[in-house]
Structure 1
Amino acid sequence: MIHEMFSHRLCNGFLPEIEPQATDIIICVSGNAIMVGGEPEAAEFPRGSQLPSDGTYLYLFSVDGQNVFWSQQEDRELLPGFAYKTLKEIRWELKGPAHYMYLAYTAWHLISWYRDNRFCGRCGHNTHPAAEERALVCDSCGHVIYPRLIPAVVVGIINGDEILMTKYANRDVPFYALVAGFTEIGETLEECVAREVMEETGLKVKNIRYYKSQPWGSVQDLIVGFFCDLDGDPTIHMDRSELKEAVWVQRADIQGQPDDWSLTHHMMMTFKAGKEPA
């Protein structure tokens, strides 16, 4: 999965005093896109030496000891050989390296939080970064805002030697996924699993068991993977506002997604190999 970088290490400690150096990575944004260059499987982001030294930069984290900053000046003029691309475009057009994609997703998570909270939700005044922790503080009322994490589930529904695979409605995605959805207020993760399965497919499930989790910064969520067993009738009653296809697929017939970065793909391949938790 994209966050399992093995030989690479992301450190997300709060170090506000650090200033960008010539070789540090600078994430520049415009709308919902990030400035990126390079070739397929060799994506590149701007470096400190390529941008004005008097700009306003905010430290985000480091990868393999290399610091990553956000340029708070948005809509910068493109550097030669660079373009503004969405995370989806970077993923499918440049395709890596994987640890740079994880860098981009995690940076986008933090940058989205900073951008969305420039003003206090209580009184409407400006906010500023806290001095001692990663938080934003209202200039007027002192309200403290912490980074947002949105819990979501992805579900492998098992019926003997089959797993339920889906395609989302209103998305131009050719490959299969699994049932997934966001956790509601007052709901446990396990309750979310049962509800999402029922809402999207009309199926009842049992033996809900945790598998793995994955941060996925494009929508600021933390995805939690579960396997579960069908409880009763296997007839699918699909919610067509959510899904355009939902089918039972035999282990041997499972085809994964084009890359191995998502928890969804990993769960499908784990089931195909017969290694899902009992």
Structure 2
Amino acid sequence: MIQDISPKKLLNSYSNKSVNANSLIVIFKNKKIMLRMNTDNKTIVFPTAKELGINQNYTYLFSIDNEDFFFVDVSDVLIPNYYDFYDMRELRKEYFYPKHYIFAAYTAYHLMDWYETTKYCGRCGAINENSLKERARVCPSCGNIVYPRINPAVIVGIINGDKLLLTKYRTGFTYNALVAGFTEIGESLEETVKREVQEETGLRVKNIRYYKSQPWGIACDILMGFFCDVEGDDIIKMDKEELKYAQWVPRKQIELQPLEYSLTNEMMKVFKEDLV
């Protein structure tokens, strides 16, 4: 999955690190990320503080091993002409290397989105400041503290004997997927599984068991994967507003997504290979 960057490790604890010449800088414009991309050898490069200037208003994001990543507003720097801005979806069209830079881009997107949407205090409207003690935004007027937002969501592999229920969204992502949805206020994760399955397919499920989780920075999510078994009637009543396809697919006939980045794809793969 996209976060599987071993032996490298993400270090995301709050720090008041200072930028240095070799620090990697993350810049977004209109939700596109600035990179130098080589489509021939499939590599991407982040700009360094040395290229953009040390004396900028950089914000520390995280480190991966000994590489430190900082964020700066696009309006604060002069962009070298050998860098360009890329839609985040372009990073998922094929494999680009080093792999941990792809994960860094997604994680940085999550934090960048939070910094931008919390510029102003949601309680009194004052301009927030960065906490000097933790990853948080603090309102200097009313004292309101805001922490990074993470949206809980479930991915559901519904099993019917030797078949798995595959879906395709009506718009957007075109490859096979699984039933998925966000947890609502007051719900447990297991209740979210039951509700989302019922809403999207009309099915009832039992034997809900946790599989694995995945951070998904492009949507500010933490995805939690569950397998379960269909209960009773297995006739699918598809939600046509959300899905364009929902079918029981035999194990050996499952078509996987082209890249092994997503929790959804891994869940389809382990079922296809009879590992669950």
Over 3 Å counting, the alpha-carbon distance change for 1:110 and 1:190 in structure 2 is: same
Q: Offset of 1:72 from its aligned partner? A: 2.7
TM-score by length of 2: 0.96
CA contact (8 A) 2:56 2:77 kept: no
Aligned partner of 2:131 in structure 1 is: 130
CA deviation vs aligned residue, 1:239-268 (integer Å, no higher than 9, x gap): 111101111111111121111010000000
Query: Which consecutive aligned stretches of 4+ in structure 1 deviate over 6 angstroms post-superposition?
Result: none
Over 3 Å counting, the alpha-carbon distance change for 1:56 and 1:75 in structure 2 is: closer
- Please list every run of 5 or more consecutive structure 1 residues that lacks an aligned counterpart in the other structure: none
Aligned partner of 2:92 in structure 1 is: 91
- Please list every run of 5 or more consecutive structure 2 residues that lacks an aligned counterpart in the other structure: none
Aligned partner of 1:31 in structure 2 is: 30
Distance across 2 between alignment mates of 1:217 and 1:260: 16
Q: Which one-letter code corresponds to 1:254 in the other structure?
A: I
CA deviation vs aligned residue, 1:220-248 (integer Å, no higher than 9, x gap): 11000000000011111111111011111
Q: Offset of 1:119 from its aligned partner? A: 0.4
Aligned partner of 2:21 in structure 1 is: 22
Q: Which one-letter code corresponds to 2:220 in the other structure?
A: Q
Aligned partner of 2:190 in structure 1 is: 190
Aligned partner of 1:218 in structure 2 is: 218
Q: Offset of 1:78 from its aligned partner? A: 3.8
TM-score by length of 1: 0.95
Aligned partner of 2:249 in structure 1 is: 249
Q: Which segment drifts farther, 76-85 or 199-208?
A: 76-85
Q: Which segment drifts farther, 72-81 or 261-270?
A: 72-81
Q: Secondary structure at the match of 2:234?
A: coil
Distance across 2 between alignment mates of 1:230 and 1:218: 31
Aligned partner of 1:121 in structure 2 is: 122
Aligned partner of 2:156 in structure 1 is: 155
Q: Secondary structure at the match of 2:270?
A: helix
Over 3 Å counting, the alpha-carbon distance change for 1:88 and 1:76 in structure 2 is: farther
CA contact (8 A) 2:52 2:79 kept: no
CA contact (8 A) 1:30 1:76 kept: no
Please state if 1:145 is matched with 2:142.
no
CA deviation vs aligned residue, 1:159-218 (integer Å, no higher than 9, x gap): 0000001100122x3310111000000000000001001100111100000000000001
CA contact (8 A) 1:11 1:62 kept: yes
CA contact (8 A) 2:2 2:102 kept: yes
Distance across 2 between alignment mates of 1:214 and 1:275: 19
Q: Secondary structure at the match of 2:158?
A: strand
Q: Secondary structure at the match of 2:93?
A: helix
What does 1:36-115 align with in structure 2 at a 5 Å threshold?
36-40=35-39, 41-74=42-75, 77-92=78-93, 95-115=96-116
Over 3 Å counting, the alpha-carbon distance change for 1:250 and 1:77 in structure 2 is: farther
Q: Secondary structure at the match of 1:7?
A: coil
Q: Which one-letter code corresponds to 2:186 in the other structure?
A: G
Over 3 Å counting, the alpha-carbon distance change for 1:144 and 1:151 in structure 2 is: same
Q: Which one-letter code corresponds to 1:47 in the other structure?
A: T
Q: Secondary structure at the match of 1:4?
A: coil
Distance across 1 between alignment mates of 2:220 and 2:143: 24
Q: Offset of 1:91 from its aligned partner? A: 2.1
Distance across 2 between alignment mates of 1:202 and 1:76: 52
CA deviation vs aligned residue, 1:127-171 (integer Å, no higher than 9, x gap): 000111110000100100011011000000000000001100122
Q: Which segment drifts farther, 135-144 or 46-55?
A: 46-55
CA contact (8 A) 1:28 1:74 kept: no
Q: Offset of 1:96 from its aligned partner? A: 3.8
Instruction: Quote the RMSD (CA, aligned, Å).
Output: 1.4
Aligned partner of 1:178 in structure 2 is: 178
Q: Offset of 1:48 from its aligned partner? A: 1.3
Q: Which segment drifts farther, 227-236 or 36-45?
A: 36-45
Distance across 1 between alignment mates of 2:160 and 2:228: 9
Q: Secondary structure at the match of 1:218?
A: helix
